[in-house]
Structure 1
Amino acid sequence: MPLAEGEWNLSYGPNGVHPGANLTFGTFSNGYYLLEPYEITPADTEAGDTPLPREDGIRFGQDLRTHATITFEIGVDTVDAAPTLIGRHGANLDAVSELKQAWDAEALRRRFGTTAVLRTTQGGRARLFYGRPRKCAPAGSKLTRQGYTPVVASFAVQDDSSYDDVEQLVRVDLVPPPHRGIKGPLTTPLSMVGEGSPRQPGEITVKGTRPTWPVITFHGPISQPVCEVVDRWKLSLDLTLGVGERVTIDPRPWGRTVLRNGNASVAGSLYRSSPRLADLRLPIGEHSLVLRGRDDTGTAHMTIAWRDAYAYL
């Protein structure tokens, strides 16, 4: 369900006995409203600078960034939840407990690399962040018995970027579609059968303000599959997929996997000429995608999914 302007939503799946979460907050309508505007603290820079020997100045090295943090001051309001003082107090304790439970995130914080999704709508634009909830601290307040408690909560962003809430997906077939024929009887001027397409199969446009991560899936039957972004990079696998089999390459920092049929790692099948997963990104602009490999049936294809990335909201 789309979020209203100014709303936020924290979500992640369950893990065994630990429940998932789907908490919406940020406005008066859901009882968890922001007391102050959200604050995004930029990622720190770990500078790789070194001093110049016997000279003034420094030599700039490879600078790396850590992660951004989003901080919320949330008012948990249940003043209208009950007509009695004890009813409002109990409702407020329940609401704070629900917020704390969602922010505790035990379902994912014990799993390596697993992230939550934090969605929002700001200025009419739907964006999301990948990361993990961190601190959640209710403030001691005399107003809790009246049905109101202020809470400070923070969220650590995985890679200092926000992403479009709508995922883009394209399919590229190994065999190109047949050319349209000429409609007869022939008259002047000649016309083509069918409507023209504004874009050729395999051509995509990446928007946003930053390069983004593509998730590539090869669908069999195919041998030696190759995904090529023309004039950019080429990803090749040394394996054979049967009918109904697939391999998904997920280079995103919270993924970094090459899985066959969703469970078996085949990362060792990547050719050395392929880019490192950490470098497997799509630049902003238009790109042509090509699937290569061997398939006698002509039914093999690949899909490429991505979200446009932004340096801020």
Structure 2
Amino acid sequence: MRRTLLSLFACLTLLCAVLVAGLSTASASPAGAAPRALVGSASATSVIKALYASWTTTFTQKWGPYGNCGVPVAQLDTASYAALNAYSASGGTGAYNNGSNCGRMITVAIGGTCINGDNSGGNVGKGFCVGGTVVNDAYTGATQTYQIADSCPDYNNWCWNDRYHLDLAQSSLGNFVKAGKVLTGLGASWNNRQVTWSYTSAPNYTGDIKIGFRKDAQRYWNSIVITHLKDGISTVQYLKDGVWRAATMSGQVGQLFTIGATVAGGSAFQIRAFDANGIPIKAGTSYKFSFPASLRRILHGGVHTGHLFPLASVRQDRFAV
């Protein structure tokens, strides 16, 4: 499925720049409209997780330099990544939610497949599985965890008419598990299947968020990328002159934010962040960091080599919620 990676507006906002790959451990609400929820399942903490249904496509294109969430493939926490729908004719905004669901993990469960019908064209208004029948097969019920790393902005039947449409990395289709067994052959049998899916916390999460600078960051334009998220990221704040201020997301690129220094024109920074549910990340940790000396030298020299620039050590402080 051919998809445009960035709109012209987003490209101009980002200056179509390459991200710094050197990240260092030192990030409002999910899609707002009522979900097409099939069931609700209570976890041990009595949190109800909505289960969404969609017809699902796959894509093979690798990004240059990154997907619409702002993170290159090599920096994702899993090789199984997906795109959420950007638009919806029925409600205006798809589950991508203008970037607010970037970096989140979802659990995808395989549903039925279409037989003896047209299920690949994607023409607007044509419908799904036209003239065919949806049936279950050996893959139905298999599951896999995916990371949201991109958006699906096509104006076709798949994206436009289905707010909760998913587009899955084709290379991940051999990783679905059923009854403890990894299934093979699903890629050849895909045929744009039905799935159900729900948001989940990153499984077996350890460590902390990672923060890095885009390689074209500069003294008065400090653009950072935040990765390794347990429950996504919705809001970033930075401390300047003793006051917490809202950072600006780069267009709808949900893991890129522009921040200010702690004092005007400085090279020291302090941020705090909130996950996709509006909960302070790491129980209210703030993160202090600065431009690495090597990055400062290159920036001041006006040369961008594309080398990796890890952050200096990050000091973590708690703040009151």
TM bracket (short chain): under 0.3
Higher RCO (CA 8 Å, separation ≥ 6 residues): 2
